Amino acid sequence: MGVLKFLVWTTCAVGLGVFLARGNVDGRSPLEHMERTWKRTVNPSTLDKVKGSVGDALEDAKGAVSQKSANAAGPRERITAEDRAAINDIIAKKK
């Protein structure tokens, strides 16, 4: 039964693909209709701007990461002088 379902759905998908590529609706194929609608509704310059801004953001991020790794100092010490003295006293008592 599963093989029969697979064959039926595959046949339907292939038939739909052939219709979209070769069918004739108002003198054009449905694929041509979709392409014309896409070109009318989506402004290509807007897409180019989005692609450019994503590329610029990626380059900025790479630059920021490389600058931080090149200028990275060792980890900052957060221990106060009092804490350091207390630790030294504990170590001295153990010896």
- What's the pTM? 0.35
Higher pLDDT: 26 or 90? It is 90
Q: Is residue 34's pLDDT more than 70? A: yes
3-state secondary structure at position 78? coil
DSSP state of 75: P
pLDDT at residue 44 in the model: 65
The alpha carbon of 30 is separated from its chain's Cα centroid by a whole number of angstroms, namely 31
pLDDT of 5 reads: 95
Break the chain into its structural domains and give their ranges. Answer: 15-59
At 67 the pLDDT is: 65
Average pLDDT, the chain: 81
pLDDT confidence bin for 6, thresholds 50/70/90: very high
Q: Which two tokens stand for residue 46?
A: 């807007």
What are the distances in angstroms from CA 68 to CA 35, 61, 65, 74, 82? 46, 11, 5, 12, 31
- Residues 67, 60: Cα–Cα separation, whole Å: 11
